[in-house]
Structure 1
């Protein structure tokens, strides 16, 4: 493979890498968070815990 061909291939790979990096950085939510959910201590986690506590108290009063 000639030096010119290697340089062209490298330029093509750099362009594809730049396009992939642009797609990844423009994601509105990290992929792991979309799959797993919220982290402990997060606002959504605290709200879910609060609502769960309210629900359990209501259910325990019914019994």
Structure 2
């Protein structure tokens, strides 16, 4: 690959990365909007129960 082709490729990649970075925003406080969203949710409680059961079983198998 020639130097000119490499330079063009790098320039293009830099431009594309800059465009992606410019479109990204840093969320601030987004977690505050979802805190407590699963409170009193039967499905969430069941998922936590099953996860604990799975971890307990996995830990017993590894010892």
Same fold at TM > 0.5: no
Scaled by the length of structure 2, the TM-score of the pair is: 0.43
User: Normalization by structure 1: what TM-score?
Assistant: 0.43
